[in-house]
Amino acid sequence: MPSQEQSLNLQERAHPCAVWFRRDLRLDDNRCLQEAFKRSKGRIIPIYVLDPREHEPNLLGWPKCGAFRGQFLLEALSDLRMKFKRMGSDLVVRIGPPEEILPNLVDQHGATHLYTLDPQDHREAEVIRLVSEGCYREGVEFVEIEGSTLYDYSRIPFAEGELPQSFIEFRRILERDASPKPPELAIKKVLPLPMGLRAGNLPKLESMNLTEFPQDPRSTISFIGGEANGLKRLKDYVWERKLISYSSTTRQGLGGEQISTKLSAWVNLGCLSPRRIWYELLAFEAKHGGSQGVYQLIYHLTMRDFMIFHAKQMGEKLYQVEGLRELPKVWEEESERFAMWYQGYSGFPLIDAFMRELSTTGYISPRGRQIVSSFFVKQLRLPWTWAASCFETLLIDYHPAITWGAMQSVAGVGVDLPQVSDHPIESGYAVDWEGAYIRFWVPELASVPPEYIYQPHLLNEEQQAYLGLYLGQNYPHPIVSPPDFTEREPTPRERNQELIMERLKRYGKL
């Protein structure tokens, strides 16, 4: 049987096939590439089209794709181009509406098929429909292939329109009646691009109406786009430092490099396959035994599928304020409150710390997202679509189905997702009594004692003068009344801290 390289040399007369890269910027476990390789005997035309519409102003008038995600995308494209160049080919890059560029481009260079990833939301599906119609007119066969989720949408045990709205119910049935397919290996060899096909230059941030920025040294990790960096992070977190074994105990933390895998930026752009992560987790479990961390990561990959599958069926409801449930809720459109929230000056230290980290690094922890989102809709009572649009611009790991779907859930107009404590004061004390995270991101509160670190509004004027903290001057008053504390038993950590504080006060140390 001839080797892959021999097959390429023997079959050079086969017609080329084009692959339209979108949210699958990788070689590993890329079904579109595999299918195009088989049909064309290695004569692949890899194409990426930067659609200017993805960088237009959103609901807030902000660019849909912010600088963090834009830079990450360019790094991923550079990494993908380098991989193709090492195989003797190149990545073709164009800027403009895909439906105007792709049909004519692939037809001009003799491609018989155009492969692409299946859409993950309604707006992607509309662009794909236009490209498909253009290919039909040019006599090019258009092929959509699944590959963005852990489970295949076509193989889930639910009929169209019968997807459960509860994630718990979805997961119970899915894991009982379906299973993921194993990942496929990356192709090793392709033939050069057709003669006369110009690869084109990679775009710059300026072409996306964005400006370059220095990376903030306070970022928990260095987010650099590309498959190579995604695989490196996966290997480091799972195999080299074995942090996955302990991630279940740290996931509820407020910030830090080790509290979660932070693979979402690579997964959501397609630099890393969910099936590759799943496969590596099973291999780790087989070698080192099961752990809660492995279970939780697979749990969250399944939740990601749940959000994407619902987005496929929701259409424009994903972006409408009434949401999946079509509930006409009344929201208060207070732009001043919104500005204080996203700038990190709400007067609630935990909210402010999260939002400052987000605006300077493009990332906050999963728990942080839930807390600031819940505060936005439950305390500020602002339209949830404002927060989703803010995240769309700022998050380096933004994904439309996940970001908008999660905000719908918090607002009570979407699917049912598991919720955790989201009190803007209690949530901090529960996991970080000393307030180290607050002191790091809100330095004006660095000298505040622990019992006031999440509620500085309780400080009287004498205490403020002693600490050099003047509410309304160098730190704001709360923009809304703080919510009541919930009635619950204190955690052992909280009881221990309360005991320490009582003793310090008794002996005059505080």
Helix residue ranges, H only, 18-66: 31-40
The answer to whether residue 192 is domain-embedded is: no
pLDDT the model gives residue 282 = 96
Bridge partners, 20 (sequence order): 47, 116
The answer to whether residue 197 is domain-embedded is: no
Range of the domain at 13: 4-147
For residues 47 and 84, state if they share a domain: yes
How far is residue 309's CA from residue 162's CA, in Å, rounded to a whole number?
11
Q: Which of 423, 111, 439, 148 is nearest to 277 (CA)?
A: 148
CB atoms under 10 Å from CB of 444, counted, come to 17
pLDDT class for 129, splitting at 50, 70, 90? Answer: very high
The answer to whether residue 200 is domain-embedded is: no
Nearest-5° Cα angle at 24, 76 to 155: 160
Nearest-5° Cα angle at 268, 267 to 272: 25
For residues 140 and 176, state if they share a domain: no
For residues 247 and 373, state if they share a domain: no
Domain count, the chain: 3
For residues 29 and 82, state if they share a domain: yes
Residue written as tokens 């999660």? 406
Query: Which tens digits make up the pLDDT trace of 170-192?
Result: 999 999 999 999 999 999 999 99
For residues 60 and 20, state if they share a domain: yes
Last residue of a domain, one of 117, 147, 177: 147
The answer to whether residue 160 is domain-embedded is: yes
Helix residue ranges, H only, 412-477: 426-431, 436-441, 461-467
User: Is 496's pLDDT higher than 80?
Assistant: no
Predicted TM-score (pTM) of the model is 0.91
User: Average pLDDT in the 477-505 region?
Assistant: 72
Residue 497's domain is classified under what CATH number? Answer: 1.10.579.10
Query: Which tens digits make up the pLDDT trace of 74-105?
Result: 999 999 999 999 999 999 999 999 999 999 99
Query: Which tens digits make up the pLDDT trace of 448-465?
Result: 999 999 999 999 999 999
The answer to whether residue 159 is domain-embedded is: yes
How far is residue 509's CA from residue 462's CA, in Å, rounded to a whole number?
18
Q: Which of 71, 66, 132 is nearest to 103 (CA)?
A: 132
pLDDT the model gives residue 492 = 59
Last residue of a domain, one of 297, 315, 333: 315
For residues 369 and 501, state if they share a domain: yes
Backbone angles phi, psi at 482, to 5 degrees: -60, 140
Last residue of a domain, one of 261, 296, 315: 315
The answer to whether residue 387 is domain-embedded is: yes
pLDDT class for 505, splitting at 50, 70, 90? Answer: low
The answer to whether residue 195 is domain-embedded is: no
Q: Taking all residues of the chain, what is their mean pLDDT, rounded to a whole number? A: 92
For residues 254 and 376, state if they share a domain: no
Query: Which tens digits make up the pLDDT trace of 46-64?
Result: 999 999 999 899 999 999 9
For residues 276 and 395, state if they share a domain: no
For residues 19 and 137, state if they share a domain: yes
For residues 399 and 292, state if they share a domain: no
How far is residue 91's CA from residue 141's CA, in Å, rounded to a whole number?
21
Read off the amino acid at residue 3: S
pLDDT the model gives residue 179 = 93
Using CB atoms within 10 Å of the CB of residue 38, give its burial: 0 to 12 exposed, 13 to 18 middle, 19+ buried. exposed
User: Is 10's pLDDT higher than 80?
Assistant: no
Query: Which tens digits make up the pLDDT trace of 317-376?
Result: 999 999 999 988 889 999 999 999 999 999 999 999 999 999 999 999 999 999 999 999
405, two tokens = 């779907």
Residue 307's domain is classified under what CATH number? Answer: 1.25.40.80
Q: Which of 261, 265, 271 is nearest to 240 (CA)?
A: 261
Q: Which of 63, 67, 42, 27 is nearest to 270 (CA)?
A: 27
pLDDT the model gives residue 11 = 45
pLDDT the model gives residue 137 = 96
Residue 8's domain is classified under what CATH number? Answer: 3.40.50.620
Q: In the sheet where 17-21 sits, what is the strand order?
A: 92-95, 44-50, 17-21, 113-117, 141-145
Is residue 254 within 8 Å of residue 370, measured between CB atoms? no
For residues 282 and 343, state if they share a domain: no
Least confident of 101-105, 134-138, 165-169, 326-330: 326-330
Half-sphere exposure of 321 (CA within 13 A, CB side): 15
Query: Which tens digits make up the pLDDT trace of 273-331?
Result: 999 999 999 999 999 988 888 999 999 999 999 999 999 999 999 999 999 999 888 89
For residues 279 and 347, state if they share a domain: no
DSSP 93: E
